[in-house]
Amino acid sequence: MVNDVEPYRWLKVLVNAAINPVTAILRARNGVILEDSNARALAEAVVREGVEVVNRLDIRLPSDPLVETLRVAETTRDNKSSMLQDVLNRRRTEVDYINGAIVIKGREVGVNTPVNYVLWLLVKALEVSSYK
């Protein structure tokens, strides 16, 4: 039990924002974040932007989100992220609630989040193209 769930919720959002859209776009398992330097660079950029938003919100995260992202990518390296599964199964993804939430909250607090924005748009485009 914790007194304030918000820091934990934001940590989970940042980890999911870094892993899920990258795996969905690349159509790769979670381990791609560790195995491909470009995928890792994207994940790191997503986390950096998210941390800026969280800092502006004056939220203290319970642990380092990049360390947590890499830990989750390692422990789930053979898994297909939920976002990848949604894309493969032609379902709507949760990208609006993950990367989209970072972008929207970033706008509210004056933080630019271009990497999250591009990933949000790319996954939304995948959703539309998957319905055809």
Residues that are catalytic: 12
Written as one string, the DSSP assignment of 38-105 is: HHHHHHHHHHHHHHHHHHHTT---SS-HHHHHHHHHHHTTTSPPHHHHHHHTT---SGGGTHHHHHHH
CA 112/CA 104 separation, integer angstroms: 10
